[in-house]
Amino acid sequence: MAVNTGQRQESGFKWNSFIRFTALALFALSCFLILPQAALAKGGGNPRYASIVMDADTGQILSQSGADSTRHPASLVKMMTLLMAFEAIEGGKLRLNDRVTISRKATQVIPSKLGLDAGSSIRVEDAFYALVTKSANDVAVALAERIGGTESHFAVMMNRKAKEIGMTRTRFMNASGLHHPQQVSTARDMAKLARYILTDHPRYYHYFSTRLFTYQGVTHRNHNRLMEKYDGMDGFKTGYIQPSGFNLVASARHGNRRLIGVVFGGRSANSRNAHMAALLDRSFAMLGPEILTAKAPLPARKPDQPVQLAALAIAAGDAAAPVLKGETFNEMIGEGDYDPAVSKRLETGLMAIAAHRGHSDESADRKEWAVQVGTFGSRTKTDKAIDNAIKSLPVELASAGTAMIAPLKTKQGWLFRGRLKGYTKGQALLACQYIEDCLPVSPQAY
């Protein structure tokens, strides 16, 4: 059968086009598959990624990737909000015990927030803790209004300060970090902000180290869970909104050297944390093995400062944070990374922390201390936690403690706090090195 010449040409053209398309597709796929792993580690394929590691003492840059590219900072903005408050205190315009009134505008912001009513108020210092731990947007707005009159004027003040610090690519539009298309910063600028706080306002840095904050009977846990896992990390801020990804500014100290790390655009909190840890590890290694020493203590409080109820360790400031078992998380529309859902099992030490209002060391050598090993909604779970705690202790500590249950009536029903009592302060602190989810309890907090 004869084949028309035009049909043969058309068929040949289609076949050649298919071959060319297939070849181009295979070439593109091969390019993707052979992308260097180093490029992926540096955020290749993630347009929101940027990072930097800075020596806090010298300002030396030890690692950077996209450090001057503008990104949305999310709740890293609250670092500047807090800095403005610190300087208002230094200037005599604000005091820690002043009250901050919650406006109607503040109540209307989206979560994360404390959920305070319009017309109510919160102490300035409690506002600090709410921003650091809960990343409370309503409190950020209220604090901005307290200092600047309006949040928009406060943003002008923030930008003026940013320029003074040398944050050349940053523009603040609000006090919370909730998304605004024009609110941008860079990894380098955020490192500059962190370093400024550390060097020019070191007496306030301890607020960024707060792991738990109890307010009106509810305990809020810091979103920066890397503080619990990375040796020497003792502060700064997380951030998350959908356009930014998961952000983190972190500060860690090994020996006499402190580093500031910034990561923008993490795809999850866990991957961001792992990447931050890797960046810091590599940078500390660059500084030399002589600085890789034991975890440094947090900055000391001024002698006249009371021990805050938000501090994790009732007796000692550097105890490890408890880890909740079986808790669930919801990523929020706003900030920070997530909010712990309400759970039947409350944060270990919640009630003990809430009751604490400071103490002296007069009873340190007397066996009046206890360790709390959990708070539960059932006696069975409490008994089991006490039994497990005793099994975890060396013989001398296990035999020194006496099991007790401290019941507490709440709106949700009875709670049972499992404790071992009869320790000195030193024994209580030592016992908590062996027991998971442990909190030292001073005699004043019974």
* Residue-by-residue DSSP string for 167-219: -TT-B---SS----TT-BB-HHHHHHHHHHHHHH-GGGGGGGG--EEEETTEE
Q: Is 78 marked active-site?
A: yes
Based on the residue annotation, tell me whether 251 is a catalytic residue of this protein.
no
The answer to whether the peptide bond before residue 112 is cis (omega within 30 degrees of 0) is: yes
Residue of 65, 78, 176, 192 marked catalytic: 78
* Annotated catalytic residue within 51, 65, 112, 135: 135
Residues in the chain: 446
What tokens were used for 182? Answer: 């024009």
Place of tokens 């990374």: 337
- Measured in whole angstroms, the distance separating CA 11 from the mean position of its chain's CA atoms is 63
DSSP category for residue 334: S
User: How many C-beta atoms surround the C-beta of residue 25 within 10 A?
Assistant: 10
Across-strand partners of 340?
329
Q: Are 111 and 139 in contact (CB under 8 A)?
A: no
The helix (run of H) or strand (run of E) holding residue 421 is: strand 413-423
Angle between helix 151-165 and helix 187-200 axes, rounded to 10 deg: 90
SS3 state at 406: strand
CB of 179 within 8 A of CB of 241? yes
Catalytic residue among 63, 75, 112, 251: 75
Q: What are phi and psi of 310, to 5 degrees?
A: -80, -15
CA 423 – CA 371 distance, rounded (Å): 8
**Residue 199 contacts residue 299 (beta carbons within 8 Å):** no
Q: Are strands 413-423 and 218-221 parallel, antiparallel or unpaired?
A: unpaired
255 Rama class: left (phi>0) / alpha (psi -120 to 50) / beta: left
Cα gap 325→14, rounded to integer Å: 62
Active site residue 135: yes
* CB-CB contact of 329 with 340 (8 Å): yes
Catalytic residues: 75, 78, 135
